[in-house]
Amino acid sequence: MVHGILCSTLEKKMDPGLYRAAMDGKVGLLKENKHKLEAQVTPNNNTILHIAAMFGNTDCVDEILGNCPSLLSHVNIKGDTAFHIAAREGHSFVTRALIKHAKALRIFAAVSNQGHSRFVHTFINCAKALDEELEKGFGSAKEMLRMTNEDGNTALHDAVQHCHLDVVKLLVREDPEFLHPANDSKETPLYLATEKGLVSIVSEIMKTCTSPSYGGPGGRTALHAAVVFNYEGCTNALLDWKPSLTKEVDMYGWTPLHYAARFGFVSRTMQLLTVDKSLAYIAASKNEKNAALHVAASQGHIGVMKVHFSECPDCWEMMNGRGQNILHIAVEYERKEVIKFIMKNSWAGYLINQKDVRGNTPLHLYASSNNFVVPELTKHHKLDLMSFNKENLTALDLVTKIDFYRTREAFIKGELKGVDASYGCHNIIDEDNERMLKIKKTRAKGKKELPADIRKVADTHLIVAALIATVTFAAGFTLPGGFDSNNGPNQGTAVLLRKAAFKAFVITDVVAMLSSAAAVFLYFMASFEDDKRKLIDEHYVPTLFLILIAMIATMLAFITGLYVALAPLPGLAITVCVIGGFSFLIFYKVIYKVLRSI
């Protein structure tokens, strides 16, 4: 069967001379071969009319349809009529000619039905018949314009997709009552024009068509598209045409305002809320039932949030389908800047202790979060540190309950204890039983391995600690300035013993040596620990701080050692100190950033 189709396709071959004539606009050659025109077809089933329309040769179109009017409704392998081809290529004169011939075709057929054999028709009756059929001719043109190809596209779809305003004007003015429904991809011409930001085409369709369809894929409207792609002109045009579009939702229950909030478009948010402030209070009908403000908080778009508060000052009170306010959401999505922004407002105290459907306050979510630290949240004067969720856990209970396998747990604990947070003790018996069960499981199964990334980090820390210990130990016996070799009571002592910089060098070198040695010792003792929580809390976390202290002390020892050795050249010595100071600031900044991200 496939072979048969292939052979059938290969057999279709248009006369090369006629093909070139239609392509180059050689009307004379077409006239000479008018009896052959109707049978000419390419492998893709394009007729001679398709070729003339494709290359914009209006005279050829007139000549072809004058001899073969039936070609007007012929479709190629993709289901395209000559209207589709002309609209896609933007040939407005060809489109106009096709419309004219479509009307004439209907009139010709109607007059033929009246019959020419009876020559006795009066002039009045003929005029009446022609007038009636002229109206029907418009109907024939409309039928042609409404034909769809295999993608469900009409000629108007193709004209819009390829941004041909002149063709769009012809098509919509010819059939203004048509709804212009969606194609197989659920796209209407108005939606396509909006998605491309074609304000002139959008305005033409809305101005000319009586009631055009405006839907798009996923249940979106043209206004959704205008907002998603941040088109100010299209948004204005659609709002002026049909303000009710602001409340239409897509398959996710999102209004255009939700998308403005999602992408952080402040201007589009202002446009929509200016038309209807009630949009701010519309929650999505599906999923978590977030309002646009909740979406903005989840994405970190403070500018959009400010517009909401400016236009609708009470919208901060709203909760989503999970009973969460904007502070819950900002914490859950780890949006530091949003949290800081919220905490600066006078109403933050009313949000900080609110509970969601699980009884969790924003602090509970913060305690169970992954890798961010926001001190502003835990230091608010209205924060209730003893708030319990539906599992009877406080925030401190929660952070202790979670098995983190990372050092951040210690930071969260320290932060909460720093503001006098307490354990809840509501479930103390259950917790004891659970702890004993874990101990029994550990004894039965033996020691479980730590995650590979934790072990790799620990190995790296051990290498760093060992290197620092080695270097600082050696520096203690190769002092700057050397030793006094003269006979006497000071023989063998450091030459620069009385210099202040030398004393600083010795002290910082000792601190670096002892800190790194202590870190190595803790890593050594960690090999005997079975409890993973103790391993992290009592070995890895303290070791991290010891290594940081050792690194800072090593830098100071290096700077002071060079300074005392270069003291006879004050300019060079001071330069070394300044450079070292800058290096220390950079080092501090990096360490601070790392600690905040843990």
Q: Output the pTM of the full model.
A: 0.69
Which ranges in 264-381 belong to alpha helices (H)? 266-275, 292-299, 302-311, 326-332, 336-343, 348-351, 362-367, 375-378
Q: For residue 56, what pLDDT is reported?
A: 97
501 CB-near residues (< 8 Å, 6+ apart): 560, 563, 564, 567
Residue, of 552 and 7, whose pLDDT is higher: 552
Which contacts qualify for 14-19: CB closer than 8 Å, 24 or more apart? Answer: 14/40, 14/41, 14/42, 14/46, 14/48, 14/51, 15/40, 18/48, 19/48, 19/51
Task: Please compute the mean of the pLDDT values over residues 453-466 and round it to a whole number.
Answer: 77
How much is the pLDDT for 424?
38
pLDDT tier, 531 (very low <50, low <70, confident <90, very high otherwise):
low
3-class secondary-structure state, position 18: helix
Distance from chain centroid for Cα 277: 26
Out of 335-344, 372-381, 417-426, 533-542, give the one with best mean pLDDT: 335-344
Question: Where in 100-251 does DSSP place strands (E)?
Answer: none
Q: pLDDT grade, residue 482 (50/70/90)?
A: low
pLDDT of residue 400: 67
CA-to-CA separations, 127 to 114, 121, 124, in angstroms, rounded: 12, 10, 5
**Domain finish residue from 175, 201, 227:** 175
Is residue 236 included in any domain, yes or no?
no
Mean pLDDT along residues 498-504? 76
Number of domains in the chain: 2
Give the residue numbers spanning the domain of 25.
1-175
What is the Cα Rg of the chain in Å?
Answer: 40
Confirm whether 123 is domain-assigned.
Answer: yes
* Among the ranges given (315-319, 328-332, 536-540, 556-560), the one the predictor scored with the smallest mean pLDDT: 536-540
- Which of 144, 175, 206 corresponds to the end of one domain? 175
Please provide residue 293's backbone torsions phi and psi, each rounded to the nearest 5 degrees: -65, -40
Q: 366 vs 491, which has greater pLDDT?
A: 366
Q: What is residue 552's predicted lDDT score, i.e. its pLDDT?
A: 86
Using the structure block, give the residue that is written with the tokens 């835990």: 378
Q: C-alpha 366: how far from its chain's center?
A: 24
Q: Band the pLDDT of 48: cuts 50, 70, 90.
A: very high
Query: pLDDT band for position 386 (50/70/90)?
Result: confident
Q: Name the residue with tokens 């790799």.
A: 456
Mean pLDDT of 32-49: 94
Cite the beta strand spans of 48-109 per DSSP E.
Answer: none
Once rounded to an integer, what is the mean pLDDT over residues 467-492?
70
What is the rounded average pLDDT for all residues in the chain? Answer: 82
Q: What secondary structure letter does DSSP report for 379? A: T
CA 120 vs. chain centroid, Å, equals 76
User: For the residues 55-77, what does the mean pLDDT come to?
Assistant: 95
Q: How far is CA 186 from CA 88, 114, 213, 222, in A?
A: 19, 43, 11, 12
Which residues lie below 8 Å from residue 143, measured CB to CB, with a gap of 6+? Answer: none
What is the per-residue pLDDT across 286-315, written as a single tens digit (0 to 9) for each? 878 999 999 999 999 999 999 999 999 999
Residue 442 in domain: no
Q: Residues of 137-156 as b/e, b for ≥16 C-beta within 10 angstroms?
A: beebbbebbbbbbeeebbbb
CA dist list (Å): 205 to 139, 201, 210 = 20, 6, 9
Q: How far apart are CA 107 and CA 133, in angstroms?
A: 5
What gap in Å lies between CA 319 and CA 36, rounded to an integer? 74
Q: Does the residue 311 lie in any domain? A: no
The stretch 474-485 carries a mean pLDDT of 68
DSSP, res 448: P
Q: What's the pLDDT band for 21 if we cut at 50, 70, 90?
A: very high
Residue 74, phi then psi, degrees to nearest 5: -75, 140
At 5, which CATH number? 1.25.40.20
Q: How far is CA 171 from the centre of its chain?
A: 37
**Across 20-29, 99-108, 167-176, least confident range:** 99-108
pLDDT for 576 beyond 50:
yes
Q: Is residue 283 part of a domain?
A: no
Out of 146, 175, 204, pick the residue that ends a domain: 175
